[in-house]
Amino acid sequence: MILEYTPEQRAFRAEVRRWMEANVPKTRLPSFDLTQEGFDAHRDWERKLNDGKWGMVTWPEAFGGRALDLIRWLIFEEEYYRAGAPTRVNQNGIFLLGPTMMEFGTDDQKSRFLPRMAAGDDIWAQAWSEPGAGSDLAAVRSTCTLDGDHYILNGQKIWSTRAVFADWAFGLFREPGSERHKGMSLILFSLNAPGVTRRPIARMDGEMVFAEIFLDNVRVPVADRLGDDGQGWHVCMATAGFERGLMLRSPARYQVAASKLIALYEANKAHLPPSMGERVAQHWMDAEAYALSIYSTASRLQAGGAIGPESSTNKIFWSEMDVAMHQTALDILGPRAELLGQPSDGVSSVDWLDGFIFALAGPIYAGSNEIQRNIIAERMLGLPRA
């Protein structure tokens, strides 16, 4: 057990830090969920990252990466969050679809899609949920009907994050007449294809973080199906593993939030009860515990292990930690917590409120925490299905 970085790992950290210090925008970019300008600003940032070869450091060089191992990916993420760099507008692509394509994609698909994904040329959305298929994802009804070397897609998708402005989506469709987990395929389609209509859905704070997607006889080449015909469920579960496991939520974001919370507590300590210190300490411990758990998982994966149902414990832990951490910050801010924007006395608390609203969704997306608890009970602990 070696809990120190090698000189090469330290040098890599220094290299990332230098690049971030020189390139991270000094002012916060406008939201990517509100306007085309905000979305484009984030796409430009993705292009800048790619120019520095930082698009997705774990990917092979042929696809725009640096072929780095998971420990260096963690170091990269640590420096990324430490520098306050913009949220990755393409996280559905690079963190979810990318690893899935690496595992199930054809060489043709990898070379067509991955470099453009790393470069921010294609920003991806996920099109899985439907009005009647949320937690029960196997209830999807949208169809893919084979027509020569094309599929004809029909149906309706919902809760597609980033889909308002994104370029492409990866969706779950079923062969007409098939049932439940059988007959599904994961199909990649352009959100600008004829027959695709997007309708933004406003989040409670007005941001258009997700959209409905309507598909009306959308023609997609069979070559854009990811994985084998009828294997969609299997492929999706692999993606969900990445999503709940280590890729979607690297620990650095929570460690940065914990540090900010400690600073907020220190600045307000004089008029806070001692119990607030205990809460802040607990959140810092949780962020550290999550980081240690991910380092342990990364070390195991590097030694040839696989991600299993424990990815469900990750998802529960980070989502609940995120809510609790923000709640403590808002408790410290007290009557200022509700303020939007910059008040006349100049002390803005809006980042904590934004973070709180975002955190509220954590226990819901990527499979609700109730579903995760079922998975832990049934697959880790062997309890019987209902």
Provide the annotated active-site residues. 243
Among 201, 333, 350, 377, binds other proteins (CB under 8 A): 377
Comparison of 201 and 371: residue with beta carbon closer to other proteins: 371
Residue 77 near other proteins by CB under 8 A = yes
Tell me the closest approach of the beta carbon of residue 2 to other proteins, in angstroms.
5
* Cα 16 off chain centre by: 21
d(CA 72, CA 8): 10
Comparison of 220 and 291: residue with beta carbon closer to other proteins: 291
Among 246, 258, 264, 366, binds other proteins (CB under 8 A): 258
Asked if 381 contacts 312 with a C-beta cutoff of 8 angstroms, the reply is no
Asked if 160 contacts 127 with a C-beta cutoff of 8 angstroms, the reply is yes
Residue 195 near other proteins by CB under 8 A = no
Comparison of 40 and 310: residue with beta carbon closer to other proteins: 310
Structure tokens at 282: 């607990």
What number of other Cβ atoms are within 10 A of residue 58's Cβ? 18
Residue 355 near other proteins by CB under 8 A = no
CB hemisphere CA count around 140 (13 angstroms): 29
d(CA 307, CA 241): 7
d(CA 385, CA 332): 43
Residue 354 near other proteins by CB under 8 A = no
Q: What are phi and psi of 199, to 5 degrees?
A: -130, 115
Tell me the closest approach of the beta carbon of residue 283 to other proteins, in angstroms.
10
Among 15, 37, 108, 266, binds other proteins (CB under 8 A): 266
Q: Are strands 196-201 and 124-127 parallel, antiparallel or unpaired?
A: unpaired
Residue 71 near other proteins by CB under 8 A = yes
Tell me the closest approach of the beta carbon of residue 269 to other proteins, in angstroms.
9
Residue 268 near other proteins by CB under 8 A = no
d(CA 98, CA 103): 9
Residue 5 near other proteins by CB under 8 A = yes
User: What is the total count of residues that contact other proteins (CB under 8 A)?
Assistant: 59
Asked if 335 contacts 347 with a C-beta cutoff of 8 angstroms, the reply is no
Tell me the closest approach of the beta carbon of residue 9 to other proteins, in angstroms.
6
What number of other Cβ atoms are within 10 A of residue 338's Cβ? 10
CA torsion 100-102-104-107 (nearest 10°) is 140
Among 135, 145, 217, 296, binds other proteins (CB under 8 A): 296
Among 112, 288, 330, 333, binds other proteins (CB under 8 A): 288
Residue 7 near other proteins by CB under 8 A = no
Asked if 145 contacts 15 with a C-beta cutoff of 8 angstroms, the reply is no
Tell me the closest approach of the beta carbon of residue 77 to other proteins, in angstroms.
8
d(CA 152, CA 148): 10
d(CA 327, CA 3): 32
Site string (310-339) toward other proteins, x via CB under 8 A: x--x--xx----------------------
Write out the residues near other proteins by the rule CB under 8 A: 1-6, 9, 13, 71, 77-79, 81-82, 251-252, 255-256, 258-259, 262, 266, 277-278, 280-281, 284-286, 288-293, 295-296, 298-300, 303, 310, 313, 316-317, 370, 372-374, 376-378, 380-386
